[in-house]
Amino acid sequence: MSFASRVKDEITRLQLEKDPKRGLLSGLLQSLASIGISNTGISLTLKISNGQIAKRAALDLRDLYDVRSQFSVIKQQKLHKRNIYRITVNEKVKEILNDLDLWTDRGLQDHPRMMFLSTDEMVRGYVAGTFLATGSINRPTSSNYHMEVTANSEGHADFLIKLLTKFRIPAKRTERRKKTIVYVKSGEAIADFLILIGANDALMEFENERINRDYFNNFQRLENINIANEQKTLAVAQKQIEAIQYLLDRKLEHLLRKEDLEVAMLRMEFQDASFNELAKEYYNRTGVLLSKSGIRHRFNKVLALKEKYEERERELEGTNE
């Protein structure tokens, strides 16, 4: 089961009071319901690809409005296609849609009015119902945080963004395949969204994965820094070794001061050591404390002496030519 499916499964098991249940049903019907008009009256039909959501919708319709739904399954013939669960209501349709603030003389309206969603619990229910209908969310192990719902129209999308903004959840909209999508990208915002819709188990799973990944990422960043520092240390050490070897080959080491030569010979003995490690070893041998900058200063003298004699060699070569 995908993470999005687990979130939806948790929502379908929530025990809600009457008003948040109305909010959830309003959001669900807003996205999935269609109206049919015939000689026998008005009918309401929902087509849902998730059996648990279909069952929840039918039970809420019964509990809130005392109506009996016709429940049928449309079996999909194509490979990997899920069954479609169809719920049809033939009674009290206007009463239901009016109570859920979805009815107009022209049929279903874009979205309910804010006065319908008069409490935070009603808003939570409506957003949860919308997510049940058209929502998706990436698995928490993904590095790409993403949650989205499909809106019926630009007006519906703006309405959803307004509701989410009320709970400080930054959402945006985009167009994809001629559909209007409302989406949330940041991990913090998705965690807040899961809190909003009451998916507490999913929230714990999401946050645990985030903590584990952030720990790993921080650890990896530290490892990368350490590797970079080690590579830098080795490159610097190699340059120092080459300078010292240059002086030794030409018997120029006597031109160094005693303490500078001591550090130089220590480098030749510990070629991969960091400045801190060299300073510690120098203290063990001489009893003299040297800082990293002190070690660096002595190596700078070695490098300067090498450069001085290299320059002389180049001048002599130029003269001989």
- The pLDDT score that the predictor gives to residue 79 is 57
What does the pLDDT average to over 261-276? Answer: 92
60 falls within a domain: yes
206 falls within a domain: no
222 falls within a domain: no
282 vs 41, residue with greater confidence: 282
* Count of domains forming the chain: 2
What does the pLDDT average to over 157-183? Answer: 95
What does the pLDDT average to over 41-69? Answer: 92
210 falls within a domain: no
- Calculate what percentage of the chain has a pLDDT beyond 70: 97
211 falls within a domain: no
9 falls within a domain: yes
Terminal CA-CA length for the chain: 81
What does the pLDDT average to over 258-274? Answer: 92
80, pLDDT greater than 70: no
Based on the domain organization, do 101 and 179 belong to the same domain?
yes
320 three-class SS:
helix
* Residue in this structure with the two tokens 């921080």, named with its chain if needed: 218
Based on the domain organization, do 191 and 233 belong to the same domain?
no
Per mean pLDDT, which range of 10-14, 26-30, 173-177, 226-230 is the poorest? 226-230
Per mean pLDDT, which range of 72-81, 84-93, 111-120 is the poorest? 72-81
Per-residue pLDDT of 184-229, as tens digits, reads 998 899 999 999 999 999 999 998 888 887 777 777 777 777 777 7
Residue 158's CATH number? 3.10.28.10
Q: Which of 198, 214, 249 is the last residue of a domain?
A: 198
Tokens, residue 37: 């008009």
Residues 6 or more apart in contact with residue 185 via CB below 8 angstroms: 145, 146, 172
- The pLDDT score that the predictor gives to residue 270 is 93
Based on the domain organization, do 165 and 108 belong to the same domain?
yes
Based on the domain organization, do 166 and 246 belong to the same domain?
no
217 falls within a domain: no
Cα–Cα distance measured from residue 173 to residue 156, given in angstroms and rounded to the nearest whole number: 11
Based on the domain organization, do 139 and 243 belong to the same domain?
no
Per mean pLDDT, which range of 64-78, 135-149, 176-190 is the poorest? 64-78
219 falls within a domain: no
- The pLDDT score that the predictor gives to residue 261 is 93
What confidence tier does 182 reach under pLDDT thresholds 50, 70, 90? very high
- Calculate what percentage of the chain has a pLDDT beyond 90: 66
What does the pLDDT average to over 38-61? Answer: 91
Based on the domain organization, do 129 and 265 belong to the same domain?
no
Amino acid at 13: R
What confidence tier does 83 reach under pLDDT thresholds 50, 70, 90? confident
Q: What range does the domain containing 19 cover? A: 3-198
- The pLDDT score that the predictor gives to residue 28 is 96
What does the pLDDT average to over 268-275? Answer: 90
* Strand ranges inside 8-105, DSSP E: 33-38, 41-48, 70-74, 84-89, 103-104
What average pLDDT does the structure give for the chain? 90
Cα 2 to the chain's mean position, in Å?
Answer: 16
71 vs 54, residue with greater confidence: 54
Model-level pTM greater than 0.85?
no
What does the pLDDT average to over 289-300? Answer: 91
What confidence tier does 140 reach under pLDDT thresholds 50, 70, 90? confident
Based on the domain organization, do 177 and 274 belong to the same domain?
no
- Please tell me what DSSP assigns to residue 70: E
176, pLDDT greater than 70: yes
Per-residue pLDDT of 296-316, as tens digits, reads 999 999 999 999 998 888 888
Based on the domain organization, do 183 and 260 belong to the same domain?
no
- Please tell me what DSSP assigns to residue 47: E
- The pLDDT score that the predictor gives to residue 132 is 97
Based on the domain organization, do 42 and 100 belong to the same domain?
yes
What confidence tier does 40 reach under pLDDT thresholds 50, 70, 90? confident
* Residue in this structure with the two tokens 């999935």, named with its chain if needed: 32
Based on the domain organization, do 185 and 296 belong to the same domain?
no
Q: Which of 175, 198, 221 is the last residue of a domain?
A: 198
Based on the domain organization, do 63 and 173 belong to the same domain?
yes
Based on the domain organization, do 90 and 130 belong to the same domain?
yes
